[in-house]
């Protein structure tokens, strides 16, 4: 299964760090994921994925 994570990835945002870890916890089926910047989204780029997860950036919880 391939999931598109659509959003403006920021490694300092706690949710952006946690989502890939949460996907890897699924032991029923391996999940591949790919971040796609919101400015680069189009139907062709999303057609290769089984699912789409729109990832917000707010609230900005910074992990320090």
Averaged confidence pLDDT in the chain: 85
- Given a contact cutoff of 8 angstroms between Cβ atoms, the answer to whether 7 and 38 are in contact is yes
Report the relative pairing of strands 51-54 and 32-36 from DSSP bridges: unpaired
For the chain, what's the residue count? 64
The reply to whether omega before 59 is within 30° of 0 (cis) is: yes
**pLDDT tens-digit map of 2-12:** 999 998 888 88
pTM: 0.79
The three-state (H, E, C) secondary structure of the chain, written as one string: CEEEEECCCCCCEHHHHHHHHHHHCCCCCCCEEEEECHHHCCHHHHCCCCEEEECCCCCCCECC
pLDDT value of residue 48: 94
Residue 60 within a domain: no
The 10s digit of each residue's pLDDT in 37-57 is 988 888 888 999 999 999 887
pLDDT of residue 49: 96
Residue 31 has pLDDT above 60, yes or no: yes
Answer whether residue 61 is part of any domain. no
Q: Please check whether residue 62 lies inside any domain of the structure.
A: no
Domain count, the chain: 1
Host domain of residue 47: 2-54
């Amino acid at each position: 299964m391939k999931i598109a994570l659509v959003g403006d990835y920021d490694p300092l945002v706690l949710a952006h760090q946690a989502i890939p870890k949460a996907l890897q916890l699924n032991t029923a089926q391996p999940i591949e994921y790919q971040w796609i910047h919101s400015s680069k989204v189009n139907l062709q780029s999303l057609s290769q994925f089984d699912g789409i997860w729109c990832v917000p950036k707010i609230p900005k919880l910074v992990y320090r």
